[in-house]
Amino acid sequence: MGRVQGKVALITGGGSGLGAADSELLAREGATVVVTDVKLETAQAVADRIGNGSIALQLDVASEEAWVAVMTTIEEKLGRLDILVNNAGVVLSADVEETTLKQYQWVNAIMSEGVFLGCKHAIPLMNKNDGGSIINMSSTGALLGYPIFFAYSAAKGAVRGMTKSIAVMCQEKGYKIRCNAIFPGAIETPMVQEAEGRLGKPNAIPEGVLPFGTAGHPKDIAAMVLFLASDESRFVNGAEMVVDNGVTIRPF
């Protein structure tokens, strides 16, 4: 307990799925969590449930105005920001031939531009105190070829590159800010359910070591988020933390 005691964490897409799991675990370990989501009511429900002084804010991650407003509110209400988890995401099932320009722009506005804006506006606030930890959610889609998730994979690839650039920049400028990326495999979330055509019909995930081909549980990603958010990971910077039960290492 208390691995992020006294820290302030901002989670995007915190109203469900991975974001809700991240919010819950960070609050349990002592953080005050700012749960953000484009749907305020879902963010509020999570903030009410996890407690520990957590607050809910509406945030459209594709809007720079919204990011500026959220950072202003955090500074006014909580005085600092120590952890940013750029988690918000959407899924589009279409290959390059099927994807329209508008669809491509929509996916990348949320998961590429949204991550850029979050990092850009979090860094100055983090720098006003003791620095912090930025955790960007990429995907195994950035590491493998998934034709049906073309726009999604492109956005997650951008996250991979941004993370490394930000990590090096912060070191070069003497900022006490680390920036890492997590690359989840298939995790049992509403987004995965939607992609598989079974939204609202979750599969049960067993405890213990999981066999190959089984989806992970949101808590499996939250545990990595907690590690990267805590001071335990002080020597981890610009890293690719692949959490996929071995999918990307198989030779076939």
Percent of the chain with pLDDT strictly greater than 70:
100
Domain coordinates of the chain in residue numbers? 8-203+236-247
Q: For residue range 55-105, what is the model confidence (pLDDT) as tens digits?
A: 999 999 999 999 999 999 999 999 999 999 999 999 999 999 999 999 999
Report yes or no on whether pTM surpasses 0.85: yes
144-168: average pLDDT: 97
Could you give the 3-state DSSP secondary structure of residue 46?
helix
- List phi, psi (to 5°) of 206: -70, 165
Question: Is the pLDDT reported for residue 238 higher than 90?
Answer: yes
Residue with the larger pLDDT of the pair 29 and 206 = 29
Handedness of CA 77, 80, 82, 86 (dihedral sign): positive
Burial of 242 (0-12, 13-18, 19+ CB in 10 A): buried
Q: What is the DSSP letter of 14?
A: T
Question: Is the pLDDT reported for residue 143 higher than 80?
Answer: yes
Percent of the chain with pLDDT strictly greater than 90:
87
Active centre residues (catalytic): 152
Strands (E), 22-176: 32-37, 55-58, 83-86, 132-137
Neighbours of 168 (CB within 10 A): 13
CA proximity to 56, closest of 42, 72, 77, 75: 42
C-alpha–C-alpha distance, residues 15 and 87, integer Å:
11
| Superfamily per CATH, domain 8-203+236-247 | NAD(P)-binding Rossmann-like Domain (3.40.50.720)
C-alpha–C-alpha distance, residues 239 and 228, integer Å:
10
Could you give the 3-state DSSP secondary structure of residue 131?
coil
